[in-house]
Structure 1
Amino acid sequence: MEIRHAEPADYGRVIGRVNTWWAGRDMAPMLPRLFFVHFEGTSYVVDDEDGQLAAFLIGFLSQTDPHEAYVHFVGVGPERRGEGLGRRLYERFFADAVAHGRTTVRCVTSPHNEASVAFHRALGFDVERIARDYDGPGEDRVLFVKRLA
């Protein structure tokens, strides 16, 4: 399966699956269309052999720190998990970040999402800290950082 840059036309395909992929949690508000319009060059999708969405990663180059990049959202279809698609998407993002002079990648996840915490640690991310109320009252987050070679 080929990784390609996300396009505005991919928005509907992704947003139509994101809540289902997160077991009915309302995740769609975290992924507005603007990511598919303004961050095509650092966001990616993977389609399966039948042209169905298999995985995606939404990331961007920091506008504040010229050494950093950020992964905002990544998802792999439940039936495709364990195939290495998430790792491949991150590796593509890392390579593109390095090509743009970035030396650090950041991302966050919920401390309750143990699978996500383990996945990011396996990718070489370090836990920078647990941030209380990061996304509002009661919305704690694990802040990850990865130094790129």
Structure 2
Amino acid sequence: MKIRNVTSEDYYILSPLINEWWGGRQMSEILPKLFFDHFNTSSFIAEEDGAIFGFLIGFMSQSKKEEAYIHFAGVHPDHRQKKVGKKLYEEFFRVASENERSTVKAVTSPVNKTSIAYHSKIGFSIKDGDKSVDGIIVTQDYDGPRKDRVLFEKRITK
């Protein structure tokens, strides 16, 4: 497996696959092309023999100099449980550390139980919120009315 930086062209390959990888959930609209154009030094593709089977889109915060943020990550369903996500996250943590970031943040929907379990497993903590949904602490209306989110944070070291 090879981990490389995303390119603008990767958008056209990944965008049609995202909804399929999420079991039909309409997710592709939260990953516009601008991420592939402007955050390629902190975003990664996992591939083998030219076939993409994982990605992570992240960036270094411009407003909070100690923070990095993971916007979206995914692994093809047939490649889950093969440490693809782990390798993508490790690469992001490495780049964040090189950029003198000490904290990585991420956000997910409370319906995404797989994401919540995965982030918890790799050492992210759930930030205090103001509401509980199915036993998960969320921040109410984080992304607008009735758009509660689970907020994650992980401290990283050099």
Task: Pick the TM interval, shorter chain.
Answer: over 0.9
Tell whether 2:115 aligns with 1:116. Answer: yes
Q: After superposition, where does 1:12-51 map in structure 2 within 5 Å?
A: 12-49=12-49, 51=50
Tell me, in whole angstroms, the C-alpha distance in 1 between the residues paired with 2:47 and 2:153: 28
Q: How big is the alpha-carbon RMSD for the aligned residues of Structure 1 and Structure 2?
A: 0.9
Give the TM-score of the pair, scaled to structure 2.
0.91
Deviations 1:42-100 (A, max 9, x none): 00001133x22100000000010110000000010000011010111001000100000
Partner of 2:105: 106
Partner of 1:10: 10
- Structure 1's consecutive aligned runs of 4 or more residues displaced over 4 angstroms after TM superposition are none
Tell me, in whole angstroms, the C-alpha distance in 2 between the residues paired with 1:28 and 1:124: 27
Shift of 1:134: 1.4
Tell me, in whole angstroms, the C-alpha distance in 2 between the residues paired with 1:118 and 1:5: 26
Shift of 1:136: 2.1
Gaps in structure 2 of 5+ consecutive residues: 129-137
Deviations 1:118-148 (A, max 9, x none): 1001111000031111122221110000011
Give the TM-score of the pair, scaled to structure 1.
0.96
Match of 2:150 among 139, 142, 145: 142
Gaps in structure 1 of 5+ consecutive residues: none
Partner of 2:124: 125
Alignment identity in percent?
46
Tell me, in whole angstroms, the C-alpha distance in 2 between the residues paired with 1:32 and 1:117: 23
Q: How many residues align?
A: 148
